[in-house]
Structures are given as structure tokens and as C-alpha cells.
Amino acid sequence: MDQDIEPIVIAVTGLNAIDSPGPGVAVIRALRDGLPKNIRIIGLAYETLEPGIYLHDVVDKTYQIPYPSAGSDALLARLKYIHQQEKINVIIPNFDAELHNFIKVSPALKALGIQTFLPTQQQLDARDKINLFQFTAMHGLMAPMDKIIYSADELYGCAEIMGYPLVVKGKFYDAIIANTFEQAQKAFFKLTAKWGFPIIVQQFIAGTEINIAVLGDGKGNATSIIPMRKLYITDKGKAWAGITLEDESLINIATTFVKATKWKGGCELEIMRTADGRAFFMEINPRFPAWIYLTAGAGQNQPAALVKMAMGEAIQPYTDYAVGKMFIRYAWDHITDVTEFQQISGLGEL
């Protein structure tokens, strides 16, 4: 790519960087490492205090976009306005809850010249938490027993079948381990208040937590697979440190998933490996994980590869990566001025 040509303009969501961070900042760091220097990064934010908005060496300009609950028409209207200002080439959404709307508007975006690289709605639905057990069984994979519930009273039946502890999960995010009915009930009400119905109650599986970052080409081939073992986990279950692994069985599991689904785009497979070596799918997240910058550090820059594929470039599947590469997440205080906060709050742009 020639440095003299027009910049590649890439819009990215997920700019929050709290203790349960969005993937956006990590995606952007990988893009800046793996693409020509003349890229321009447009942040798409929901909240005015998402830290990525104010990191001007990371994000060139930020625009607020409507919450997913506003629907696809509102999203498309806002993206049309932003495109008029910025001439976007590629959009990378990074939140589960927004993907339905982005998938729905992707044909209209393509007509405007904006590329995406997303799974189909059918692919998105097939790997949903509420379908996970049936999906894995269909493809010769394993997942914990689960039950979809709409009432706290159904927790009694879940405990009779699965025993304690139970894992109580929200529709989009969050998982709480409950050792008693009272804890499970509290988790039920907390998660329904935050994410709505249904609630997923899952059998607890003890083992080693492993995450796999995967990039699929939409034709059944995995362009990149990077397995990572969590070294430090927050109280929300998020990886705060991790290390790349050399394990052919994990590569095979991810390859089977991509072949079965013909997955298009990035995703994260959350695996629990038991002491006897069995691998259970805990979740399949349909976007890049927050630790995705590790793929760039390990030699398979998945966000950069996704942009190239979205723009029509043929990318050969990666075969090698650096084993023993670690990431350690950290926090620091970024100083900005209240005028910037006022501008994004009042005008929806910064």
C-alpha cells in the first residue's frame, strides 16, 4: 500500500477501557501496528466517558452513535452522517449487543462504499448462549449442560439437575457463580435488571480457563487461531494477564468450529479444560476479545488481517505464532480538559 494514497479510514466501536474493557482500544493498537501509517481511526462511542474518546494518539476523531436499542434505522442514519464527514472504508463493531443492527445495515453500508466483515445473522444466532449446548453437540464438540429460564422459581429445577455451584449468565454479558439458591436468585435478579430475559443457567465445570482468538474467512477456513491461557482473572472473570499456548488440540477445536459454522470475522472461543483433558465450550463471543492485541504481539495480527480481507485482499492462513508471549493489562490516569467532555456531550463529536 502506497503512503501517498488517501488514508484508509476505519471506524471502531468499544472504546471503553474499564475493569471489563471493550475491545476497541486493543483493536486500534493492532491496526496501527499492522497497517500503513496513513490510516485514520474514527471512534464510535455510546457513552461520553469512554476513555478511548480522549486518547488522541489512539483515536483521530470520535462520534457518538445511538444505543443498539434505538434500532438499525437510527444507526444507519447516524453512520451516513459520519460517512459524509469522514469517507469511511471499514467499520469494526466490537460489542455483542450491537452486532444485530450492524449486520442488518451492512448491505446499505456496502452500497455507500463502507465495508464490514461480519458473520451472518444465522451464524450469530447459531452460536448464541441460549443455543450453545445444542450447537456444540451437533458438531461433535462439548459444552456444559444448561437451561434457559424466565423465572427465579426455575432455579430449583436447575439445581436438582445440575447441582451447585451453578453459573448464572446474562443474555449478553456477565456470569455469576452461585453456591446456594439465595446466591442464584440474587444473580438472577441482578442480571435480568441489567440485560433482560432470558437468563442462562449453566452447569459449573472446574478446570483451566483458555480463550482462543479466531479469524474466519466466511468460507469455512480459519485465517488465524491464537490460543491463550488466563494467568490472572478479575472478579468479573475477565483476563487481566494471559500467555499464548502451543496446543494442537486447541487449534483443532477452533478449526472444527470455523469449518462447521463458516464463520466470517473475528470471534473468541471461551474454553474450560478439565483435569482429564476434556475441553468444554463455555461461550462463543462473536467479535474480537479485549485481549486481541496479543495476536499482534504473537505474530498474527487479526484486526489488521480483517481490514485487509474486508477490502478484498486475499490473506493466506497464518500457520506460526510466538508461543509464550504474554499480555499484562494495566490502568493509568489520562488527563484531559472538561472542554473536551463538554464537546462530546453537547455536539456528539470530538
H helix count then E strand count, the chain = 11, 14
More confident residue, 194 or 66: 66
Would you place residue 330 in the very low, low, confident or very high pLDDT band (cuts 50, 70, 90)?
A: confident
Contact 136, 143 (CB under 8 A): yes
Grid cell in block for residue 165:
455451584
Q: Are domains 123-127+206-328 and 145-203 of this chain identical in fold? A: no
Contact 180, 171 (CB under 8 A): no
Q: CA-to-CA distance for 35 and 307, rounded, in angstroms?
A: 9
Kindly state the DSSP code that residue 188 receives in the 8-state scheme.
H
Instruction: Give the pLDDT confidence score for residue 4 in this predicted structure.
Output: 61
Q: Most distant CA pair in the chain: distance in Å?
A: 66
The pLDDT of residue 77 is above 90: yes
As beta bridge partners, residue 203 has 166
Mean pLDDT of all residues belonging to the chain: 91
Q: Under CATH, what is the fold of the domain 145-203?
A: Dna Ligase; domain 1 (3.30.1490)
Nearest to 117, CA basis, from 88, 92, 87, 86: 92
Strands 175-178, 146-149: pairing is unpaired
Please tell me the pTM assigned to this model.
0.89
- Would you give the distance in Å from CA 320 to the centre of its chain? 23
The pLDDT of residue 1 is above 70: no
Instruction: Give the pLDDT confidence score for residue 197 in this predicted structure.
Output: 86
Grid cell in block for residue 123:
451464524
Q: Which residue shows C-alpha cell 483515536?
A: 59
- pLDDT over 90 for what percent of the chain? 63
What is the DSSP code string of 73-107?
HHHHHHHHHHHHHH---EEE---HHHHHHHHHHHH
pLDDT digits (tens, 9 = 90+) for 282-293: 889 999 999 999
At residue 58, φ and ψ (nearest 5 deg) are -105, -50
Please report, for residues 84, 87, 336, the alpha-carbon distance to residue 114 in angstroms, rounded to integers and kept in the order given. 11, 8, 32
Q: Is 61 exposed, middle or buried (0-12, 13-18, 19+ CB in 10 A)?
A: middle
Please report, for residues 61, 319, 335, the alpha-carbon distance to residue 51 in angstroms, rounded to integers and kept in the order given. 13, 35, 10
Instruction: Give the pLDDT confidence score for residue 156 in this predicted structure.
Output: 87
Sign for the pseudo-dihedral over CA of 112, 117, 122, 125: negative
Please report, for residues 42, 239, 272, the alpha-carbon distance to residue 229 in angstroms, rounded to integers and kept in the order given. 31, 9, 10
Q: Under CATH, what is the fold of the domain 123-127+206-328?
A: D-amino Acid Aminotransferase; Chain A, domain 1 (3.30.470)
Instruction: Give the pLDDT confidence score for residue 343 in this predicted structure.
Output: 87
Please report, for residues 25, 42, 338, 345, the alpha-carbon distance to residue 54 in angstroms, rounded to integers and kept in the order given. 11, 12, 11, 13
Grid cell in block for residue 216:
474466519
Please report, for residues 31, 176, 276, the alpha-carbon distance to residue 27 in angstroms, rounded to integers and kept in the order given. 6, 27, 35
Contact 281, 142 (CB under 8 A): yes
As beta bridge partners, residue 243 has 229, 326
Would you place residue 134 in the very low, low, confident or very high pLDDT band (cuts 50, 70, 90)?
A: confident
Amino acid, res. 37:
K
CATH code, residues 9-116+333-347: 3.40.50.20
Kindly state the DSSP code that residue 139 receives in the 8-state scheme.
T
Q: Give all strands of the β-sheet with 61-64 in edge-to-edge order.
A: 61-64, 40-45, 9-13, 90-92
Contact 349, 341 (CB under 8 A): no
Domain limits of the chain? 9-116+333-347, 123-127+206-328, 145-203
pLDDT digits (tens, 9 = 90+) for 237-273: 778 899 999 999 999 999 999 998 999 999 999 999 9
